[in-house]
Amino acid sequence: MELLLQRNPSGAEATLGRLLLDGAFECYTLEDLVREMAGLPVEQWKIAGETAIPSGRYKVGITMSARFHKELPILYGVPGFAGVRIHSGNRAEDTEGCILVGKRTFGETVIDSRIAFLDLADKIDAALQAGDEVWIDVRNAAAA
């Protein structure tokens, strides 16, 4: 299974985007601000709890989250970040580097997040149970 997160330019408080599953629109996303600076190590541009993960391709699994006390999708090998999850939430305050999902957007929020999360998590789980690998390709907005 291939997920593609296409980020919009960051707003004042958050970064919205679109998540495609095997090329088809799945849901909207919300992350912290993109602060990535090409060529510089993560520790030079990351603000803990307020920065979106670096663009790149990451393997996805499902593990038990110590913070949320339930199984959630996790991204492996994110430089400078640990415990990056895909989960429900509505605003930038609900994420600390994780990817929030929603069925709709309003301003700098995602709406119907639990519905979007359950739909996506079921698809990821089914793919993993079938023995497929799940990958997410995170792409920043094109420079103007």
Give residue-wise pLDDT tens across range 9-28: 999 999 999 999 999 999 99
> Given the DSSP bridges, would you call strands 2-7 and 134-139 parallel, antiparallel or unpaired?
parallel
User: What is the model's pLDDT at position 78?
Assistant: 97
Residue 75 is predicted with a pLDDT of: 98
pLDDT for the residue 131 = 98
Bridge partner residues of 3 (DSSP): 21, 136
φ/ψ bin of 120: left (φ > 0), alpha (ψ from -120 to 50), beta (otherwise): alpha
pLDDT in the model for residue 67: 84
Distance CA(79)–CA(24), nearest Å, equals 27
Residue written as token pair 């679109």: 18
With a cut of 50, list the residues of the chain below it in pLDDT.
none
